[in-house]
Chains A and B, each alone.
Chain A
Amino acid sequence: MTTPAGFDELIHPPTRLGLVALLAATEWAEFSFLKESLELTDSALSKQISTLAEAGYAEVRKEGAGRRRRTLVTLTPKGRTAFDGHVEALRRLVSGAPPAARTGARPPEGP
């Protein structure tokens, strides 16, 4: 299979795709909300967020102090562009349109 343009192997694994899809619909989301929605453990979610942050797709910031401290996660413009491109690539695959060149696709990576 030829990978369509915009297809992003970093985003494609199911768990990470779910995380990025949640973040794409939000300006930012609390860590606890993401954890409950994706039914992940703290460490599993942290790992996914770190992978996205290392790629420059997500940013983490902490607010407040003590009991009111909360961790907020947001998609960066780069992450949002990658997600939009990935969604477009998936739509092209589904609609059966001839795939474009491989340009823009990331090398395959584990979940």
Chain B
Amino acid sequence: MDHIEDAQARLTEIAKRRDQALDGASRGRHRGWDAAGALAMIAGFAALDLPAPSALQLGLFAVALVAALTCFTRAGRRGKVVMHQSQMTGRFWAVLGGFALASGVLAFAGIWLVNRIDIPLRFTLVGVLLAVLIAVTEPLYRALLRRTAA
């Protein structure tokens, strides 16, 4: 193999290892903190089902969402790998922001929908569905993340 082919092979290897690191940052998250975050999020939605004044419901909802975000962040920091800031490109933030936005839109759509259906624990159900949706779309998130090459 001449030196140009060798250099090309090494660059391919570097790209492969970068993908592996990004995969590791996503798969190697701390499961306990991730689970705590999902529970806090569901608890936040469940607060909207409580027989309490709206202000209290919304206050509890906000506190629970902040707690969920804290847990999710901790899950990343306590994982097996933490991504370097050089990998957090504009495209990375676009993917992350896109997923956050999609989750927010789905949550609002869910709340709008269940407000028109009179079923018990309807907001809790939205929270559970959102948590499940986040979990099942993780492979898609990982696939998109691989396309955010620095």
Contact = CB atoms under 8 A, between A and B. Distances in A.
Contacts of B11: 87, 90-91, 94
| Interface residue SS majority, chain A | helix
Contacts of A42: none
A90 B22 CA distance: 22
Interface string A1-41: 10000000000101001100110111111101100010000
Contact of A21 (B4, B17, B28, B86): B17
Given A25-B17, A25-B21, A25-B84, A30 B28 contact: yes
30 contacts: A1-B3, A14-B13, A17-B10, A17-B13, A17-B14, A21-B17, A22-B17, A24-B86, A25-B21, A25-B22, A25-B83, A25-B86, A25-B87, A26-B24, A26-B25, A27-B83, A29-B24, A29-B81, A29-B82, A30-B28, A30-B80, A30-B81, A33-B24, A33-B28, A33-B80, A37-B17, A90-B7, A90-B11, A93-B3, A94-B11
**7 closest A-B pairs (Cβ-Cβ)?**
A25-B21, A21-B17, A93-B7, A33-B80, A27-B82, A30-B80, A21-B14
